[in-house]
Structure 1
Amino acid sequence: MTFALPDGLSPGRFVPLGPTSVWVSDDFPSDVRQLWPRLLDGRREHGLLPLLCWLDEMGKPLGPEEVDAVRLEEVLAADFAEYRRKRLPFWTNPTPAPVPEEEEEGIEPWPHDPGPPFTHWPGLAPRMPVTSACPTPEEAASGLVSELVETAPYGLYDCRLVLVPARRGSDALAVTGWSAEAPLPLLCALLRSWEDRFGAEAVAVFGSELYVSVARPPVEAEHADLLALEHVLSTADNIVDDPPTPFPEYAADLVGRASWSFWWD
């Protein structure tokens, strides 16, 4: 299945993925910073969502019914109970964790992590209100694309622009069947919820890493604690565990933060 394309695209081709297709650029688009706002402005007309992605990380598409089936609060509550059961001995031990043997000498011991300040699942972080001071989700996403181009993280320029036919931005990973080690149905359900509550947009996926723009991040520490727990339960390896960042520090860094990144080993 093919579809009408917006004007001004570089050369590319359609790639079939299950029952649908996506359009993929032949190269990393040199004008991506100028192109991204135009694509987002026209997505209601064209029904296409932009994503920067490594082609070899596209896999079997996930049907929307598989994401719909995730009862997010129920799943996260059960996951937190199991996570807390496993980690509580580490949280209650004030002794810093030793440095792994393979690390070089002179490296400080890992800091003690007291863990999340909850004994039971506390519920989702609340929806952040839309105010005149907030950027739109489209502006936040375009800003993150510009930031990625400026900082050029390893692997960015191996990405291709992928135009995904999907009803909402958070479903782009489901349609492309992103094949990292992430639990894709849960991750897509989280992205849907973050889209609604924080104006979040998935912008890029490469090297098992996900970059998400955030238009309305939490501004209160108590809300950031709740959101940080959601990040932990996404199972991403870089949240708290690698590098080892104590939960309170990770949560504090989410206050006002306009982008999030996750990776899975």
Structure 2
Amino acid sequence: MEPFDEGWEDDPGPPFDHWPGLAPGTFLGSGTDPEEAARTALAHLVDQRPYTPAGASLALVAAERSADIPALLGWTRGASLPFLSALLRSWEDRFGARVIAAIGATLYVSVACPPRNQEQADHVALEHLLTTADNIVDDPPTPFPDYAASLIDAHLWCFWWD
């Protein structure tokens, strides 16, 4: 494993000084239904953030996997689309993640089997940094430990780019 660049401004610091590889998945064999988790997360999004879906349009996208939706729509809001699609596909496999909404420059992802403890959350948060989403690295500059802690048992992940 390669050490992080000392000059990397988004270096999360401890507990990572080297790229540890992808976080172990929690989905396989869990018995959790990702489609039900997606319905629940979308209902929560509508109930808790009624202003967000107000300007949204409903779209049916012919995609085999929800991770392909941003690419099929040509959705580009500051993220590297091929890299983001690869992360989303990996999260589908490992955490039962589903893209449930793309509103403006914000992408909402439901998570059937989110991290359950701090160690798992730290590892997943490191992958979230790879999205280059502004809500993680710039706006606001949330301290890495706080961001990681927010992922424990979080069935809805949100990413936005300015």
Q: Could you state the TM-score of these two structures normalised by the residue count of structure 1?
A: 0.56
| 1:55-134 to 2 correspondences below 5 Å | 81-82=4-5, 85-87=7-9, 115-129=13-27, 130-132=29-31, 134=32
Rounded Cα–Cα distance in structure 2 between residues aligned with 1:119 and 1:153: 40
* Matching residue's letter, 2:72: V
Residue by residue, what CA displacement relative to the aligned partner does 1:122-145 show, whole Å, maximum 9, x if unpaired? 11100104334x3x1111110111
**Unaligned regions of 5+ residues in structure 2, if any?**
none
The match for 1:215 among 75, 92, 112 is: 112
Given that residues 240 and 250 in structure 1 are in contact (C-alpha distance below 8 angstroms), is that contact kept between their aligned partners in structure 2? no
Amino acid aligned to 2:15: P
Give SS of 1:81's match: coil
- Inter-partner Cα distance in structure 2 for 1:163 and 1:116: 42
Once the two structures are overlaid, the 10-residue window that deviates more, 231-240 or 195-204, is 231-240
| Gap runs ≥5 in structure 1 | 1-76, 92-113
User: Relative to structure 1, is the Cα distance of residues 167 and 211 closer, same or farther in structure 2, using a 3 angstrom cutoff?
Assistant: same
Percent identity reads 54
Alpha-carbon distance between aligned partners in 2 of 1:239 and 1:165, rounded to the nearest angstrom:
30
- Counterpart amino acid of residue 256 in structure 1: D
Distance 1:87 1:147, change over 3 A: same
Q: Check the 8 A contact 2:46/2:52 in 1, yes or no.
A: no
> CA shift at 1:116, angstroms?
4.5
Q: Which has the higher strand share?
A: 1
2:130 to 233, 256, 262: 233
Matched residue, 2:76:
179
- For the aligned residue pairs, the C-alpha RMSD in angstroms reads 2.1
Q: How many residues align?
A: 161
AA partner of residue 180 (structure 1): R
**Superposed structure 1 runs of 4+ greater than 4 Å apart:** none
CA distance in 2, matches of 1:245, 1:180: 20
C-alpha change, 1:205 and 1:180, in structure 2 (3 Å) is same
Distance in structure 2 (CA, Å) of the matches to 1:119 and 1:151: 37
